[in-house]
Structure formats: structure tokens, C-alpha cells
């Protein structure tokens, strides 16, 4: 059974190779090949899952050794896979949602002449993401990590004829590089500290404590902070959050799959996978929770001000991942809920994005919600599925988000002390804001009067329901949005499933679970109510009003780009300019000066060669005199 693990990665990798190297003759069938191989990977994942369920909880982890990758004395890196409950969860999420989005893309990308290439990139992404979650050491994980970065870059910039898309791709790549540096430094630190970077030896396995136990807390904190930096880059957490909003320039299925459901959660995976390191570095854990709390508010505030439906959802994604990071930073109290929220979020956020894509599809690719309105009757399936996703994300009782988010808020309070109150309070506030901005999106898109505008070429929009290849994935994801949370939580199924890997502890909540749930409900109603009052009771202006200072700042993503520009870009420019100056004056000066002085010396020595045999003879005589004298002198000394 272990031998199937490599096939999980191999199937989409094969698809990518065939589609990207196959050339035009595959244009007609390329999308089916890509979808079939993604589905194949899902089927293999399902088989392995069934096999895993058949075993007892302690014997579920599997591994497969492929080959020795870098065999150097004292530095051993293998290509080998590890499939435990945590990886399995991700495999099912990635291949399941991935397959649905492949299916959706067949319809969505129907009129794009580079559709085959698009599916090649999607398959490449699946292969890299699966490699990331299946690797049994950090170096191989890094390969997958870079691979998803590459696929993300290619797909954000897929419509490369648009300068904004090309810029957004570059921005995402550059910001991600900062995080990648963190991961590579973390791996180097691990190698110097532990002499290894494989999960088993470093983190420990059942009954074998890892090398983590032997390291000082300072070193572990350094490793953990570097891992956190990596996670911030990939998962768009403050301070490396700025790329995610721009990444919405990519085709909507990409936003759904990569920038909502899977890739952006890789940072959460990294932290949860490295639990042993973080558990031993409480200071780093505190930083993780702070990053999570700040981001969850940051993303929520940005989401409130955006009129672009995808950017509003992107802000929401950032905020929801903030919840997961917060939970992951809480340690064993939160790991399971971080992953659970990750999975439910994968369902409802992918569903929301696909819904947004469906709306855009019907509205001539318009993304400004102020030019939507009243779409519920024109696109009933989209409305219902989007609506279910909406209810799930705001945490409507009984739906997926309710279970997973509520647990995180409880866990934040359970952290205890002042920290617990602050973190719990932030999480509660975030829930209220979530209700506000999602209600706003819902009302502006599907309710109210029509505010449709003709597009740049003067075509009036004719909203219509999307083809079945698009609606089916939306319906499936809507089912997940509704039922997944309940399924996981009733009888603590998810907790029991994941606990052998991540461990779990209950914590000491100062407030009861019921109080938290009630408070959440109240805030939810308040948030949604304010949104209804603002957007449902009075008409929505087509041109955005000037708004308050906060609104304006939030529209500019809370000035993140301005901050980066002033601090990093300007600073970097000054640094490079001074380095160029030093290079020109000092380095080139030394080099050119040496060359010039050699030339001058050459010209002067050349004059000794005057063409007269007599002066040549004198020089020989002088030479011989020196030779003899030196030889005698050597003996005398």
C-alpha cells in the first residue's frame, strides 16, 4: 500500500509534463487529461485513506523510500515520503478540491486559447503541493514549497498580456522569496543544530524523542521564528501579506484553489508539522499567536473596504488563515482546530471563489460589486451555493464554519491569563467583522437594485447561470460547507483522527464554551445587522463614496504597499545605489588603477629596450654582477 504514495505525486506531475511538453496537438484534449490525472490522484488518495481507516490509530502512518537524493558524508537527503493522518488530511483536501476546480476550469477557461497550458500549470501545482505535504524531510518539503511558489507565479501571471497580472505575479514571487529565505535558513539552522533535517530524527516519533529535546531553547526559538517567517510568506500573514490581494489578478479558479483553499495554508501545515519545535519554544509560539491575531483583524478590515469581489474575498482569506495561525500558535490546545478550520475553510472559501467566478463569468468579467446587484434571480444556483458558503464562513450555527471557528475562539481564551483574554477578544472581534464584510458582499452582489454597467466595449451584461461543469463543483463544495464541520465535530471525529500526530490538550478556559458561543452569536448578528443597515436599507452608490479615514486606508490595504515602498523599496534603492557607488569608485578604481599603473610601468620599462646592443650588454653585465654578488652574499649570510 505504501508504494501508492509516490503515485499521488507522480500522476499530476505526469500531467504537467505531458501538457507542457505535448504542444498544440493536445489542445483539444489537454483539459481532460489534466482533470483525469487530478482525479486519479484523488482516487489513489481515497484508497490510501480507506486503508488507513482500517488500521488502528497508532499504525496509520506510512512511509515510502524512493531514492537517496544527496548522499554526502554527514549530509543525507532522501526522496522519501511520509503519509500520516496530517498529510492524509491535506492530500484529500488538495486532490479533492483540486479535482473539482479542474472540472470547473474546463468551463471557466473555455474561451482561452492557452487552456492546455493552464491545466499543465494546475497539475504542476498539485504535484508540488502534494510533494510539500508528503515529504518526510524539510529539504524535500522545500522543493515542494518552491514548486508551489513557481506554480503560483505562473498562474497569477497567466494572463501575462495584462501588465497588472505580470506585476502581481512578480510581486507574489518576490514577497514569497523573503519567506523562502526563512525556510532555507531554518533548514540550515536545523542541520547545524541537529545534524539532520528529516522529520523522524528531528521531531521524534512514537517512543523516540527527537533531537529537538537536546537543543537549547534559544536555538529552537531561532529555528521556529525562521519557520514562522516562511509561513508568513506563503500564507500571506503580516508582515508578508501584501501579495495576496494582487494575486487575484490570476484566473478565478486559481484564486479558489491556490490562493484560498490549499497553497496559502501551507504555512499552517508547516507550523503544525513542526509542532515539536514550537512546543519547545514558547516565545516563538507567542509571536505566532500575535501574527495570527494581527492578521485576522488586518485581513478582515481590508475585506470590509474592498469593492472588488475577489479582493474582498482575498482579505477574508487572509483573515481566516490568521485564525488558523492563531490556533496553531496556541500549541496542543489549537493544532487540531487549526487544521479543522483549514479544511472547512477550504470548502467554503473555494466555493465562494467559484461563486464569484461564476458571477464574473455572467457579468462580462466585471469584478466591482458596486456594479452588481439583484443577481439572485438570474443565477439561482450560484446564489444558493454562494449563500451557503456565506453562512458557513460567518459561523451560522450548524454549518461548517460555526464548529471550526468557535473552537478556535474557545482555544484562544483557553490560553489563559491576559494573553488569553486579548487573543480571545481579537478572535471574537474578527468574527463580528467577518459577519459584517461577508454580509456586505452578499447584499451588494445578489440583492438590491441592478447597478449593471456596460463594459469597456459597450456590451450590456446579460447575467446567466454558468454551465454545468462550473455549477457541479460549486454544489459539491456547498455540501462540504454545510456538513463538513458538523461531521468532523460530532463525536470529536476529527480530534480523534488527528490527535496521534499533533497531540491535544484541553487547556483551562476562564469562560465556558457556551458563553463563547453565545457571545459569537451576538457579535455575528451585530456585524451582519450593521452591514444590512448600511447596504440593504439604502441604495448602494455605483461610485464609491470618499469614506472615512479608516475606509480609505483599508481600501489601500491599510497602506501595506506604501509602507513597503517607503521602508523596503526606497531603503533597498538607497542601499544598492550606495553599493553601486562603492563599486564604481572603490572597486573599479582599484581595478582600473592597477591596470593603468601596469600600463604605465610597462611603458617605462619599455624605454629600457632602446635598441642599442651596448646598453643591452651593460644590462647583462650588471645582471651578472648582481648574480655573482648575490650568490656570494648568500654564502656570507
Partner 1 sequence: MSTAAVHSLWTTAAEPISKIDAPKIEYGQLSPTLIVIGAALVGVLVEAFVPRKSRYYTQVFLSVVALAAAFAAVIALAAGGYGTTKAHIAAMGAIAVDGPSLFLQGTILLAGILGVFTFAERRLDPEAHGNRVDSFAAQAASVPGSDSEKAAVRAGFTTTEVFPLLLFAIGGMLVFPSANDLLTLFIALEVFSLPLYLLCAVARRKRLMSQEAAVKYFLLGAFASAFTLFGIALLYGYAGSVSYATIAQVVDGTIPNVDPALAGTMGNDVLLLIGAAMVVMGLLFKVGAVPFHMWTPDVYQGAPTPVTGFMAAATKVAAFGALLRLLYVVLPGLRWDWRPVMWAVAIVTMLGGAIVAITQTDIKRLLAYSSIAHAGFILAGVIATSPDGVSSVLFYLGAYSFVTIGAFAVVTLVRDAGGEATHLSKWAGLGRRSPLVAAVFAVFLLAFAGIPLTSGFAGKFAVFKAAAEGGAGALVVVGVISSAIAAFFYIRVIVLMFFSEPRPEGPTVAVPSPLTMTAIGFGVAVTLVLGVAPQYFLNLASQAGVFVR
CB of residue 622 vs partner 1: minimum separation in angstroms? 7
CB of residue 588 vs partner 1: minimum separation in angstroms? 16
Does residue 624 belong to the site contacting partner 1 (CB under 8 A)? yes
8 A C-beta contact, residue 262 and residue 296: no
Count of residues touching partner 1 (by CB under 8 A): 28
Cα(538)–Cα(592) distance, integer angstroms:
73
Closest CA to 271 of 86, 128, 443: 86
8 A C-beta contact, residue 121 and residue 47: no
Does residue 65 belong to the site contacting partner 1 (CB under 8 A)? no
Of 541 and 603, the one with the shorter C-beta distance to partner 1 is 603
Q: CA 210 → CA 197, 205, 213, 276, 343, distances in Å?
A: 11, 7, 6, 8, 28
> Site mask, partner 1, residues 542-581, x = CB under 8 A?
----------------------------------------
CB of residue 587 vs partner 1: minimum separation in angstroms? 16
Find residue 308's DSSP bridge partners: 368
Does residue 622 belong to the site contacting partner 1 (CB under 8 A)? yes
Of 74 and 603, the one with the shorter C-beta distance to partner 1 is 603
Does residue 538 belong to the site contacting partner 1 (CB under 8 A)? no
Cα(146)–Cα(165) distance, integer angstroms:
20
Cα(8)–Cα(91) distance, integer angstroms:
8
Does residue 592 belong to the site contacting partner 1 (CB under 8 A)? no
Cα(622)–Cα(633) distance, integer angstroms:
16
Of 417 and 600, the one with the shorter C-beta distance to partner 1 is 600
DSSP letters, 175-218, are HHHHHHHHHHHHHHHHHHHHS--BHHHHHEETTEE-GGGGS-HH
Does residue 380 belong to the site contacting partner 1 (CB under 8 A)? no
CB of residue 585 vs partner 1: minimum separation in angstroms? 22
Does residue 631 belong to the site contacting partner 1 (CB under 8 A)? yes
Does residue 627 belong to the site contacting partner 1 (CB under 8 A)? yes
Does residue 587 belong to the site contacting partner 1 (CB under 8 A)? no
Of 586 and 632, the one with the shorter C-beta distance to partner 1 is 632
Residues 466-525 that bind partner 1 (CB under 8 A): none
Instruction: Quickly count helices (H) and strands (E) in the chain.
Output: 26, 4
> Site mask, partner 1, residues 436-455, x = CB under 8 A?
--------------------
8 A C-beta contact, residue 389 and residue 352: yes
> Site mask, partner 1, residues 91-110, x = CB under 8 A?
--------------------
Classified as helix, coil or strand, 542 is coil
CB of residue 607 vs partner 1: minimum separation in angstroms? 10
CB of residue 591 vs partner 1: minimum separation in angstroms? 11
Helices 115-134 and 5-21: angle between axes, nearest 10 degrees? 160
Cα(65)–Cα(136) distance, integer angstroms:
9
Which span (75-83, 415-423, 580-588, 604-612) binds partner 1, by CB under 8 A?
604-612
Does residue 596 belong to the site contacting partner 1 (CB under 8 A)? no
Cα(130)–Cα(81) distance, integer angstroms:
10
Of 545 and 603, the one with the shorter C-beta distance to partner 1 is 603
CB of residue 593 vs partner 1: minimum separation in angstroms? 14
Which span (285-293, 361-369, 422-430, 613-621) binds partner 1, by CB under 8 A?
613-621
DSSP letters, 28-93, are TTHHHHHHHHHHHHHHHHHHHHHHHHTS-GGG--EEEEEEEEEEETTEEEEEEEEE-HHHHHHHHH
Which span (4-12, 48-56, 412-420, 610-618) binds partner 1, by CB under 8 A?
610-618
Does residue 72 belong to the site contacting partner 1 (CB under 8 A)? no
Does residue 593 belong to the site contacting partner 1 (CB under 8 A)? no
Which span (242-250, 356-364, 568-576, 612-620) binds partner 1, by CB under 8 A?
612-620
What does the radius of gyration of the chain's CA atoms come to, in whole angstroms? Answer: 30
Does residue 602 belong to the site contacting partner 1 (CB under 8 A)? yes
> In this chain, which of 29, 518, 522, 630 binds partner 1, going by CB under 8 A?
630
Number of other residues whose CB lies within 10 A of the CB of residue 517:
16
Does residue 616 belong to the site contacting partner 1 (CB under 8 A)? yes
CB of residue 583 vs partner 1: minimum separation in angstroms? 20
Give the CA angle between residues 592, 594, 595 to the nearest 5°.
65
Does residue 623 belong to the site contacting partner 1 (CB under 8 A)? yes
Of 67 and 612, the one with the shorter C-beta distance to partner 1 is 612
Does residue 590 belong to the site contacting partner 1 (CB under 8 A)? no
Phi/psi at 419 (5° precision): -55, -45
Which span (64-72, 88-96, 269-277, 615-623) binds partner 1, by CB under 8 A?
615-623
Does residue 620 belong to the site contacting partner 1 (CB under 8 A)? yes
Does residue 598 belong to the site contacting partner 1 (CB under 8 A)? yes
Closest CA to 406 of 326, 527, 521, 313: 521
Of 72 and 605, the one with the shorter C-beta distance to partner 1 is 605
The dihedral sign for the CA sequence 388, 389, 393, 394: negative
8 A C-beta contact, residue 404 and residue 268: no
> In this chain, which of 74, 458, 491, 603 binds partner 1, going by CB under 8 A?
603
Residue ranges of the alpha helices (H) in 109-137? 115-134
DSSP state of 274: T
Does residue 591 belong to the site contacting partner 1 (CB under 8 A)? no
Helices 85-108 and 335-362: angle between axes, nearest 10 degrees? 0
Of 490 and 625, the one with the shorter C-beta distance to partner 1 is 625
Of 538 and 602, the one with the shorter C-beta distance to partner 1 is 602
8 A C-beta contact, residue 113 and residue 31: no
Which span (10-18, 187-195, 532-540, 600-608) binds partner 1, by CB under 8 A?
600-608
Cα(545)–Cα(563) distance, integer angstroms:
24
Q: Which residues sit at the interface with partner 1, rule CB under 8 A?
A: 595, 598-599, 601-603, 605-606, 608-609, 611, 613, 615-617, 619-620, 622-624, 626-628, 630-632, 634-635
Amino acid at each position: 500500500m505504501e508504494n501508492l504514495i509516490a503515485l499521488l505525486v507522480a500522476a499530476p506531475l505526469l500531467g504537467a509534463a505531458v501538457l507542457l511538453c505535448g504542444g498544440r496537438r493536445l489542445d483539444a484534449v489537454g483539459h481532460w487529461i489534466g482533470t483525469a490525472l487530478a482525479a486519479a490522484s484523488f482516487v489513489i488518495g481515497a484508497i490510501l485513506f480507506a486503508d488507513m481507516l482500517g488500521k488502528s490509530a497508532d499504525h496509520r502512518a506510512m512511509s515510502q523510500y524512493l531514492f537517496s537524493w544527496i548522499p554526502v558524508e554527514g549530509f543525507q537527503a532522501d526522496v522519501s515520503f511520509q503519509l500520516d493522518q496530517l498529510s492524509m488530511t491535506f492530500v484529500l483536501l488538495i486532490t479533492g478540491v483540486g479535482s473539482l476546480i479542474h472540472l470547473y476550469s474546463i468551463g471557466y477557461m473555455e474561451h482561452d486559447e492557452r487552456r492546455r497550458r493552464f491545466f499543465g500549470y494546475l497539475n504542476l501545482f498539485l504535484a508540488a503541493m502534494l510533494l510539500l505535504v508528503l515529504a518526510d524531510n524539510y529539504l524535500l518539503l522545500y522543493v515542494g514549497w518552491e514548486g508551489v511558489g513557481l506554480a503560483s507565479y505562473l498562474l497569477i501571471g497567466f494572463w501575462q498580456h495584462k501588465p497588472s497580472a505580470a506585476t502581481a505575479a512578480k510581486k507574489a514571487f518576490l514577497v514569497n522569496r523573503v519567506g523562502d529565505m526563512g525556510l532555507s535558513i531554518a533548514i540550515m539552522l536545523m542541520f547545524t543544530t541537529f545534524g539532520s533535517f528529516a522529520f523522524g530524527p528531528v521531531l521524534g516519533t512514537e517512543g523516540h524523542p527527537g533531537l529537538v529535546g537536546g537543543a537549547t531553547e534559544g536555538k529552537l526559538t531561532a529555528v521556529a521564528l525562521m519557520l514562522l517567517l516562511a509561513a508568513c510568506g506563503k500564507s500571506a500573514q503580516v508582515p508578508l501579506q501584501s501579495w495576496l490581494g494582487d494575486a487575484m489578478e490570476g484566473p478565478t479558479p486559481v484564486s479558489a484553489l491556490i490562493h484560498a483553499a490549499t497553497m496559502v495554508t501551507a504555512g499552517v501545515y508547516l507550523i503544525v508539522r513542526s509542532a515539536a519545535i514550537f512546543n519547545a519554544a514558547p516565545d516563538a509560539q507567542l509571536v505566532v499567536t500575535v501574527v495570527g491575531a494581527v492578521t485576522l483583524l488586518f485581513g478582515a478590515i481590508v475585506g470590509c473596504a474592498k469593492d472588488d469581489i475577489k479582493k474582498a474575498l482575498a482579505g477574508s482569506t487572509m483573515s481566516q488563515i490568521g485564525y488558523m495561525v492563531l490556533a496553531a500558535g496556541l500549541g496542543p490546545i489549537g493544532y487540531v482546530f487549526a487544521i479543522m478550520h483549514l479544511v472547512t475553510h477550504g470548502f467554503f472559501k473555494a466555493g465562494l471563489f467559484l461563486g464569484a467566478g461564476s458571477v464574473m463569468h455572467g457579468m462580462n468579467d466585471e469584478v466591482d460589486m458596486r456594479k452588481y446587484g439583484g443577481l439572485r434571480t438570474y443565477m439561482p444556483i450560484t446564489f444558493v451555493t454562494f449563500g451557503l458558503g456565506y453562512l458557513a464562513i460567518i459561523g451560522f450555527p450548524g454549518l461548517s464554519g460555526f464548529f471550526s471557528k468557535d473552537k478556535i475562539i474557545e482555544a484562544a481564551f483557553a490560553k489563559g491569563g491576559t494573553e488569553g483574554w486579548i487573543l480571545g477578544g481579537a478572535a471574537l472581534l474578527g468574527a463580528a467583522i467577518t459577519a459584517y464584510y461577508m454580509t456586505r458582499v452578499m447584499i451588494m452582489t445578489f440583492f438590491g437594485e441592478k447597478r449593471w454597467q456596460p463594459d469597456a466595449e459597450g456590451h450590456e451584461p446579460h447575467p446567466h447561470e454558468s454551465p454545468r461543469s462550473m455549477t457541479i463543483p460549486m454544489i459539491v463544495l456547498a455540501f462540504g460547507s454545510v456538513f463538513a464541520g458538523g461531521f468532523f465535530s460530532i463525536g470529536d471525529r476529527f480530534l480523534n483522527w488527528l490527535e496521534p500526530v499533533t497531540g491535544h490538550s484541553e487547556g483551562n478556559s476562564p469562560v465556558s464554551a457556551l458563553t463563547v458561543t453565545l457571545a459569537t452569536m451576538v457579535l455575528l448578528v451585530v456585524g451582519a445587522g450593521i452591514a444590512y443597515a448600511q447596504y440593504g436599507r439604502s441604495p448602494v452608490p455605483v461610485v464609491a463614496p470618499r469614506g472615512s479615514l479608516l475606509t480609505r486606508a483599508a481600501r489601500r490595504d491599510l497602506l501595506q504597499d506604501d509602507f513597503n515602498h517607503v521602508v523596503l523599496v526606497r531603503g533597498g534603492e538607497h542601499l544598492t545605489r550606495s553599493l553601486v557607488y562603492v563599486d564604481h569608485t572603490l572597486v573599479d578604481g582599484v581595478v582600473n588603477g592597477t591596470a593603468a599603473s601596469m600600463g604605465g610601468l610597462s611603458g617605462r620599462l619599455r624605454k629600457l629596450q632602446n635598441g642599442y646592443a651596448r646598453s643591452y650588454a651593460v644590462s647583462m653585465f650588471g645582471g651578472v654582477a648582481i648574480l655573482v654578488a648575490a650568490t656570494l652574499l648568500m654564502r656570507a649570510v
